[in-house]
Amino acid sequence: MTAEAKRRGTLGVVVLAGLLAGLPPAAWPAPGHPSTATPPPDAAVVPIRGDRSRGEALFAAKCAGCHGAKGIGSSAAPPLKSLRTRRSADAAIVWIKDPQPPMPKLYPKPLSIGDVDDIVAYLESL
């Protein structure tokens, strides 16, 4: 497969996923963004590093305003409930550290890497 065909295939998957999720095109991840990568089936399971309870408090303070209480989503941001079925924990960390607009960049300030790990641990529990 040529690089161009691969890029078009990735773009098609991103567009289809965005349409199915009901997200406006501005909220779709850019093709090739590390957060869109699906881990291979034989990938090792990496234990979650963060503290779920602390992550819940951080999520309520920093994320729920857009993503809704318990990650149910809103008109401003997509739902994060069951995110673990769509994205690996490592991909979620990459996304939080390097988000695509309209999501604000919260890392490295006000969120530290420990805060990001904690939030992802909480998201894994939803």
Question: Which pTM does this prediction carry?
Answer: 0.65
Q: Could you report the average pLDDT of every consecutive run of 10 residues in the chain (126 residues)?
A: 53 46 53 55 61 97 95 93 90 94 94 96 94
d(CA 88, CA 21): 18
CATH of the domain at 90: 1.10.760.10
* pLDDT given for residue 77 in this prediction: 93
Domain housing 22: 3-39+46-125
Query: What's the total number of domains in the chain?
Result: 1
* pLDDT given for residue 35 in this prediction: 54
